Chains A and B, each alone.
Chain A
Amino acid sequence: ETGVTQSPTHLIKTRGQQVTLRCSSQSGHNTVSWYQQALGQGPQFIFQYYREEENGRGNFPPRFSGLQFPNYSSELNVNALELDDSALYLCASSHSGGAGELFFGEGSRLTVL
């Protein structure tokens, strides 16, 4: 069974740039969620994708957007990067009926300068 994989693991961007983060979900999982984890904080829900559509969103502005592909992999896009976007971005996959049973990848560490 293949776990959740994310890429890249680390990246550095400057303010105003755009970034794309990628995630391959665990085999058998059809739902992907993205979370932002600031240093020393718990993960914060960004949004969730099911059947290639966003079906839930946290308190994040529209410059945070995503995609889910037919193979259930996903992308997180962030436009007009701000310094406060510096964080660990976590992808989690799950079954559609799996309540809060999330399987996380190791994350992408984004630094915005």
Chain B
Amino acid sequence: QQQVKQSPQSLIVQKGGISIINCAYENTAFDYFPWYQQFPGKGPALLIAIRPDVSEKKEGRFTISFNKSAKQFSLHIMDSQPGDSATYFCAAANSGGYQKVTFGTGTKLQVIP
């Protein structure tokens, strides 16, 4: 059962543009929503995270928007750069239990000059 659905599967954005990745979850017990960035040959690295008590969180060029009623959240990358080219995973976790993190299927982002 896929509990976190992610789209699109791949994304091509021009340098300076906005990259948008969307995710939806089913389990209402989830209360922590991180995004991970993975470069080829590397493990995923935590990029930014949000809890459902806020609707938006911004860190530099990265912003998470969260819609609790729709059970959806999204990552916006402003002023996208070629160095942002990587695979992005949304994820969800229940901080009240053991630390199982459920990942989406990933979005491969390519930022072209």
Contacts and interface: CB of A to CB of B under 8 A. Distances in A.
A104 to B, nearest CB: 3
B91 interface: yes
Interface string A81-102: 0000000001010100011111
A2 interface: no
Contact of B105 (A42, A48, A92, A105): A42
A6 B9 CA distance: 28
A5 B90 CA distance: 24
A73 interface: no
A50 B45 CA distance: 21
Interface residues of A, number: 27
B61 interface: no
Interface stretch (B13-21, B36-44, B62-70, B74-82): B36-44
A100 B93 contact: yes
Interface in B61-113: 89, 91-93, 95, 97-106
Contact of B43 (A41, A48, A90, A101): A90
B43 A106 contact: yes
A41 B44 contact: no
Interface of B: 4, 6, 32-34, 36, 41-46, 49, 89, 91-93, 95, 97-106
Given A94-B99, A100-B92, 15 more contacts: A33-B99, A42-B4, A43-B89, A43-B103, A44-B103, A45-B100, A48-B99, A55-B98, A56-B97, A92-B43, A100-B49, A100-B91, A100-B101, A102-B99, A106-B43
